[in-house]
Chain A
Amino acid sequence: MRVTLKVLRYNPEADRAPHWESYQLEAEPTDRVLDLLHNVKWDTDGTLTFRRSCGHGICGSCAMMINGVNRLACKTLVQNLDTDTITVEPIRGLPVEKDLVVDMAPFFQAFKAVKPYLINDDPPPERERLQSPEERAVFDEGTKCILCAACTTSCPVFWVNGTYIGPSAIVNAHRFIFDSRDKGNGERFKALSGGGGIWRCRTAYNCTEACPRDIPVTELIEEVKRAIMVNYV
């Protein structure tokens, strides 16, 4: 089939503002949007810039806005889009460096702020710190996050607020807050309680729809809100 691929392109050395460019391509319905981008880059215009590594939906490099929805280019097939015009834009709310590549530094700063690692100063037991399957299941959803930023950059509060920590950081806080082996809740609650913290969430649900790993993001955010509330009230 013939498809029109429209890409929002931006070259900081030449352009004052991003602009759309169209490419006519021959594509199979089972091609991924990532394949279309590769076709353009390899055959038409080598300057087209985007991130990808694994090509299998696990590294989180290729999140972009495809036909108005944040998705992974490597997990989105042409036939999933039900149209022969495909638009691709960088994810929103982070500074665009070139074409589809954005500066992820603010995103990872928020991630680091919630201390996404085990905090437990108790002397380690002789073997591992044991956990029951039930205790493990409580935080299972959060472990699926691949840090692609599709959720955070779909959040209207993140777009406008400028200091909001974002859904992804909260999901990764959830991962440890609800881990029975972890003792770092005080520190994480602190990171989440400030002016740009979890209380800025207005439950828009964009994050849940955007997540390519089907994590119920908004639900996890509400669970963290409840945990903080119960802790303080």
Chain B
Amino acid sequence: MAIKTRNFNVARQQASTNIELIWWVFMRVSGVLLVFLVLGHIYMNNILISNTSIDFDYVASRFSQPLYKVYDLVMLVLAMLHGTNGLRYIIDDYVHHDGWRNIVKYALYFVVAVLITTGTMLLFSFPFNKVGG
């Protein structure tokens, strides 16, 4: 059946793909994982150690262990994608003008891409002293 639509956005809305199903499942799976990851993160950085005594040496010693790098990378990516998709739902709800909706969405995607990239670079550019001099 041909798609009969007036513009690109309407066409995309009517196109039948599973992408919305996949994001819906992702929100649930990432949400469940985040419960444990975030609780573990709080336990390690606020209870095992007082958050006022977190300094460069503490962070450096953490990031020298590959397991922490993986832990933080998974949490970073899941939280970012989960939060971004949640904001996408909200933008779709409240920003009705096609042009503005696209501008707001792509601004969001840009910021998130920058955050994930810089966060990942930070994790994998340890030891910092060799990078920063």
User: Once the chains are docked, how many angstroms separate the CA of A157 from the CA of B20?
Assistant: 16
Instruction: Give residues 1-45 of B contacting A (CB, 8 Å).
Output: 12-18, 20-21, 23-25
Check: A199 CB closer than 8 A to any chain B CB. Answer: yes
User: Once the chains are docked, how many angstroms separate the CA of A161 from the CA of B93?
Assistant: 4
Q: With A161-B92, A162-B96, A195-B92 given, is the CB distance from A229 to B16 under 8 Å?
A: no
Q: With A157-B93, A195-B92 given, is the CB distance from A163 to B13 under 8 Å?
A: yes
What is the CB-to-nearest-CB distance from A201 to chain B, in angstroms, rounded to a whole number? 9
Q: With A157-B93, A160-B93, A161-B92 given, is the CB distance from A194 to B13 under 8 Å?
A: yes
C-beta contact mask, A111-134 vs B, less than 8 Å → 1, else 0?
000000000000000000000000
Check: A193 CB closer than 8 A to any chain B CB. Answer: yes
User: Once the chains are docked, how many angstroms separate the CA of A123 from the CA of B14?
Assistant: 31
| Chain A residues, CB < 8 A from B15 | 194
Flag if A195 contacts B21 (CB, 8 Å): no
| Chain A residues, CB < 8 A from B110 | none
What is the CB-to-nearest-CB distance from A96 to chain B, in angstroms, rounded to a whole number? 18
**Looking across the interface, which residue of chain B has its beta carbon closest to that of A228?**
B21
Instruction: Give residues 174-230 of A contacting B (CB, 8 Å).
Output: 189-190, 193-197, 199-200, 225, 228-229
| Chain B residues, CB < 8 A from A189 | 16
User: Once the chains are docked, how many angstroms separate the CA of A161 from the CA of B17?
Assistant: 20
Flag if A160 contacts B20 (CB, 8 Å): no
Flag if B20 contacts A197 (CB, 8 Å): yes
| Chain A residues, CB < 8 A from B18 | 193, 232
What is the CB-to-nearest-CB distance from B51 to chain A, in angstroms, rounded to a whole number? 34
**Looking across the interface, which residue of chain B has its beta carbon closest to that of A156?**
B93
| Chain A residues, CB < 8 A from B21 | 193, 199, 228-229, 232
Interface footprint category on B: 10 to 19
Q: Mostly helix, strand, loop or mixed at chain B's interface?
A: helix
Partner of A195, one of B12, B25, B96: B12
Q: With A163-B13, A229-B25 given, is the CB distance from A195 to B20 under 8 Å?
A: yes
How many of chain A's residues have a CB under 8 angstroms from any CB in B? Answer: 18
| Chain A residues, CB < 8 A from B20 | 193-195, 197, 199
Check: B94 CB closer than 8 A to any chain A CB. Answer: yes
User: Once the chains are docked, how many angstroms separate the CA of A197 from the CA of B25?
Assistant: 15
Flag if A199 contacts B13 (CB, 8 Å): no
User: Once the chains are docked, how many angstroms separate the CA of A232 from the CA of B19?
Assistant: 11
Which of B15, B20, B89, B94 has the most chain A CB atoms inside 10 A of its CB? B20
User: Once the chains are docked, how many angstroms separate the CA of A8 from the CA of B50?
Assistant: 57
**Looking across the interface, which residue of chain B has its beta carbon closest to that of A201?**
B24
| Chain A residues, CB < 8 A from B92 | 161, 195, 200
Which of B13, B18, B94 has the most chain A CB atoms inside 10 A of its CB? B18
Contacts beyond the supplied A157-B93, A161-B93, A229-B25: 15 A-B pairs with Cβ under 8 Å: A160-B94, A163-B13, A189-B16, A190-B16, A193-B17, A194-B14, A194-B16, A194-B20, A195-B14, A196-B13, A199-B20, A199-B24, A200-B92, A228-B21, A232-B21
Instruction: Give the 5 A-B CB pairs with smallest separation, nearest first.
Output: A195-B13, A190-B16, A199-B20, A199-B24, A160-B93
